Amino acid sequence: MPDQNSIPHRIQTLTERLHYLNYQYYQNDVSEIPDQEFDQLLAELQALEKAHPELTLPNSPTQRVGGTVTKQFPTALHKYPMLSLGNTYSEADLRDFDERVRKGLEGAEVAYVCEMKFDGVAMSLTYEHGQLTQGVTRGDGTRGDVVTSNVRTIKNLPLRLREAGPPQPPEFEVRGEIFLPLPVFEDLNREREQNGEALLANPRNAASGTLKLQDSAVVAARRLRFFAYSFLSPERNVFPSHSAALEALKAWGLPVSDTWRRCTSLAEVLDFIHHWEKKRFELPVATDGIVVKVDDFQQQEVLGFTAKSPRWAIAYKYPAEAGRTRLNEIQYQVGRTGAVTPVAMLTPVALAGTVVKRASVHNANQIAALDLRLGDMVFVEKGGEIIPKITGVDLTARPEGSQPIQYPTACPACGTALVRPEGEAHFRCPNDTACPPQLKARLEHYVSRKALNIDGLGAETVARFFELGLVRTPADIYDLNAEKLTGLERLGEKSIQNLLSGIEASKQVSFDRVLFGLGIRYVGETVAEKLAAHYRSIDAMLAATAPELAAVPEVGGVIAESLAAWGAHASNRELVARLRAAGVQLALTGEAPQAVSDRLAGLTFVLSGVFEQHSREELQQLITQNGGKITGSISKKLSYLVAGDKMGPAKREKATELKVPIISETDLLAMIPAPGEPTDAADALEAAAPTAPEPETFAAPARPAGQGEQASLF
């Protein structure tokens, strides 16, 4: 009888319960308990696992929050190559496909399964004894990147399968598509726009970029989702047909979109296509067509493959949605760095599931190339890209007497003459110290999450304060006080207090983020980090010449010129002086952390095999930071052999023979302080730098994609 009060029992109970609640939530849209209670159970399990890492069950639900950092993803061979699909764009092509299939099957009855073609990233998942063991990207079709720790953060993807439905083979592969739900994609882009970052072109790029992020905690916060569409197993005849496999996958708890349908004739296939042509835009996932698959697995085998794709399946691609509407006006938007972007204002037109009122026109050249004129009827297309674009003009409907659009020569906001630096596509307003939209966008950037992240002062509020004349530059934020803010609409006493304490707290934000927050052209997050680490203070950085700046790793000539020009501006010098007077961090505090603890002092380690939670380099670093030593060979004096996956048998034998203890990566990590856990050395560091924020990497995100989010995808 297991002890009902024991810690292993509690870990087991919590693990089971959380797996079940996740299944109910993500597969059945049922929230059995409030978010808060779920979070409490998860936190309890996290705490128990931290205290007893050896008791952590494989694929614990805590892995969903991420936390592992991979420098470089290992690659793996695909057991079955990941092929592509033949594409068709017309019903005639589909008829040809149907004829080829029937001919190949010598006139036998044939049924098809029609599915949506999800526009994301293909993923191969391996399940062994019901446990998710590996996630590999398509790569070149033969070999892909092993991104298991990132895949494990995908909330609707079961880490462990349910024991329901037909029996499961001991090992099999599930293929499907990982995607970023459209509302999440839109949120992400809105945030990027506010931060002055480049927009992501489409959800597919966003999903594939996210999957390759090194920090799985960031992946966890991105809310990726998965849909399964294939089952592959070394055992033949597990299922008679693809439709039976889809049903089994669903019963086992895998997310299978309910949009698929079995069709027994080409007419039914065409019906399916027509049915989803417009309706697909109601789905929260981008789709670009449908996939038609022969249902019967034996028939699939008879039909076989060409070099590139199966003969038993084909993709039908919907034509890019195009619309025709009137161009009423071109507006010119001025961004944070002064770049002027033309935006076409259109008579609203329904397109690809949304009402389109604006379209991007990239720059002046494009206006000329299309010969756009106000009042023109224009063709607008929404292809894979989410922002519609103007693809042409209906010249037959051109209003009489229309004139080519004259690109403005002066800034639409401040009247300063625009410049176009050689080799650049955009006109730019050079008045960076007084042009209102530039000032406003810079304030929004300064308060944004990745910069000063001022609580209670979001982009909207700071923009409002700007309009009211309360703030013009980031330094003005520190002059705000209760007196200035009292009496403003929609700003109660509590909000004011919250805002002022947020401003106060921002004085503790580290120098690299302040530097990023200043919004100097080309100085993004990474460059700001490099500059801060190199110069350690804004004074040292501003004292450097452009050639000196250009010599800093990752800072090229263009960035150096931009920095030098920024520093040469009197108003920027004044800004720095005022921020300094306000107490904002303009230098890094403390020494760069080296030693973390001496818990491994006197111990030697050999690392062998492939590791799951950290790269080998990171483990080496962790060992030395905690006083241990790495050696290359196994000897009697060796303290530990740390065994990863795929360690050679010779090493294991030798260690066993010499009685050297063999430990796992988890055992090793349990020997050293966890990130954030106080140690003597860390205490000393903290005393030197009481304000250093937690490293972002280890901050377990709240449950943004958890039960608070809309559960249902369909």
CB of 300 to ligand IVH, least distance (A): 10
Closer residue to ligand IVH, CB minimum distance, 114 or 642: 114
Q: Does 115 bind ligand IVH (CB under 6 A)?
A: yes
Whether the Cβ atoms of residue 550 and residue 557 lie closer than 8 Å to each other: yes
CB of 284 to ligand IVH, least distance (A): 15
Whether the Cβ atoms of residue 275 and residue 114 lie closer than 8 Å to each other: no
Among the candidate windows 115-123, 271-279, 479-487, 638-646, which touches ligand IVH by CB under 6 A? 115-123
For 244, other C-beta atoms within 10 Å of its C-beta total 16
CB of 211 to ligand IVH, least distance (A): 13
Residues between 119 and 148 with contacts to ligand IVH, criterion CB under 6 A: 122, 138
Residues forming the annotated binding site for Zn(2+)? 411, 414, 429, 435
Closer residue to ligand IVH, CB minimum distance, 242 or 442: 242
> Which residues are within 8 A (CB) of 317 and not within 5 positions of it... i.e. 6 or more apart?
87, 88, 89, 117, 288, 289
Residues between 679 and 708 with contacts to ligand IVH, criterion CB under 6 A: none
Among the candidate windows 110-118, 142-150, 183-191, 541-549, which touches ligand IVH by CB under 6 A? 110-118
Distance between CA 59 and CA 529 in Å, rounded? 34
Residues forming the annotated binding site? 35-39, 84-85, 115, 138, 177, 293, 317, 411, 414, 429, 435
CB of 291 to ligand IVH, least distance (A): 4
CB of 177 to ligand IVH, least distance (A): 5
Contact pattern from residue 58 through residue 97 relative to ligand IVH, giving x for each residue in contact according to CB under 6 A and a dash for the rest: -------------------------xxx------------
Cβ-closest residue to ligand IVH? Answer: 122
Among the candidate windows 111-119, 128-136, 329-337, 500-508, which touches ligand IVH by CB under 6 A? 111-119
Among the candidate windows 101-109, 116-124, 395-403, 543-551, which touches ligand IVH by CB under 6 A? 116-124
CA 15-19-23 angle, to 5 degrees, is 170
> Which residues are within 8 A (CB) of 621 and not within 5 positions of it... i.e. 6 or more apart?
none
Query: How many residues sit close enough to ligand IVH to count as binding (CB under 6 A)?
Result: 16
Distance between CA 439 and CA 431 in Å, rounded? 10
Q: Does 560 bind ligand IVH (CB under 6 A)?
A: no
Contact pattern from residue 563 through residue 602 relative to ligand IVH, giving x for each residue in contact according to CB under 6 A and a dash for the rest: ----------------------------------------
Residues between 177 and 196 with contacts to ligand IVH, criterion CB under 6 A: 177
Whether the Cβ atoms of residue 65 and residue 35 lie closer than 8 Å to each other: no
Closer residue to ligand IVH, CB minimum distance, 42 or 121: 121
**Amino acid, res. 228:** A
Distance between CA 608 and CA 627 in Å, rounded? 20
Element at 332 (helix H, strand E): strand 321-334
Length of the chain measured in residues:
714
Closer residue to ligand IVH, CB minimum distance, 258 or 489: 258
Contact pattern from residue 143 through residue 182 relative to ligand IVH, giving x for each residue in contact according to CB under 6 A and a dash for the rest: ----------------------------------x-----
Distance between CA 429 and CA 414 in Å, rounded? 9
Closer residue to ligand IVH, CB minimum distance, 145 or 177: 177
Tokens 């992240």 appear where?
A: 453
**Amino acid, res. 544:** A
Q: Is 182 exposed, middle or buried (0-12, 13-18, 19+ CB in 10 A)?
A: middle
Closer residue to ligand IVH, CB minimum distance, 245 or 413: 245
CB of 86 to ligand IVH, least distance (A): 8
Q: Is 341 exposed, middle or buried (0-12, 13-18, 19+ CB in 10 A)?
A: middle
Residues between 296 and 325 with contacts to ligand IVH, criterion CB under 6 A: 309-310, 313, 315
For 481, other C-beta atoms within 10 Å of its C-beta total 11
Closer residue to ligand IVH, CB minimum distance, 116 or 475: 116
> Which residues are within 8 A (CB) of 48 and not within 5 positions of it... i.e. 6 or more apart?
7, 10, 11, 14, 55
Q: Does 117 bind ligand IVH (CB under 6 A)?
A: yes
530 is written with which tokens? Answer: 């490099």
Mapping DSSP to helix (H, G, I), strand (E, B) and coil, where does residue 274 land? helix
Closer residue to ligand IVH, CB minimum distance, 291 or 294: 291
Instruction: Say how many Å lie between the first and final Cα of the chain, rounded.
Output: 44
CB of 121 to ligand IVH, least distance (A): 7
Closer residue to ligand IVH, CB minimum distance, 292 or 643: 292
Among the candidate windows 117-125, 217-225, 371-379, 553-561, which touches ligand IVH by CB under 6 A? 117-125
Tokens 């674009």 appear where?
A: 389
367-402 burial, b at 16+ Cβ within 10 Å, e below that, comes to beebebbbebbbebbbeeebebbbebbeeeeeeeee
Closer residue to ligand IVH, CB minimum distance, 297 or 605: 297
The 3-state secondary structure of 479-509, one letter per residue: CCCHHHHCCCCCCCHHHHHHHHHHHHHHHHC
Distance between CA 127 and CA 170 in Å, rounded? 8
239 is written with which tokens? Answer: 């299922």
CB of 306 to ligand IVH, least distance (A): 11
Catalytic residue, from 50, 71, 103, 117: name it: 117
CB of 117 to ligand IVH, least distance (A): 4
Whether 117 is catalytic is yes
Q: Does 245 bind ligand IVH (CB under 6 A)?
A: no
The candidate with the shortest Cα–Cα distance to 645, out of 613, 600, 604, 603, is 613
Residues between 256 and 295 with contacts to ligand IVH, criterion CB under 6 A: 291
Distance between CA 510 and CA 667 in Å, rounded? 34
Element at 28 (helix H, strand E): helix 7-28
Residues between 206 and 235 with contacts to ligand IVH, criterion CB under 6 A: 229-230
The candidate with the shortest Cα–Cα distance to 204, out of 145, 144, 117, is 117
CB of 182 to ligand IVH, least distance (A): 16
Which of 23, 38, 97, 118 forms a contact with ligand IVH (CB under 6 A)? 118
Residue 358, beta-bridge partner list: 345
CB of 295 to ligand IVH, least distance (A): 13
CB of 268 to ligand IVH, least distance (A): 17
The 3-state secondary structure of 34-77, one letter per residue: CHHHHHHHHHHHHHHHHHCHHHCCCCCHHHHHCCCECCCCCEEE
Q: How far is CA 302 from its chain centroid?
A: 41
Closer residue to ligand IVH, CB minimum distance, 86 or 408: 86
Residues forming the annotated binding site for NAD(+)? 35-39, 84-85, 115, 138, 177, 293, 317
Closer residue to ligand IVH, CB minimum distance, 319 or 492: 319
Q: Does 438 bind ligand IVH (CB under 6 A)?
A: no
Active site residue ranges: 117
Residues near ligand IVH (CB under 6 A): 83-85, 115, 117-118, 122, 138, 177, 229-230, 291, 309-310, 313, 315
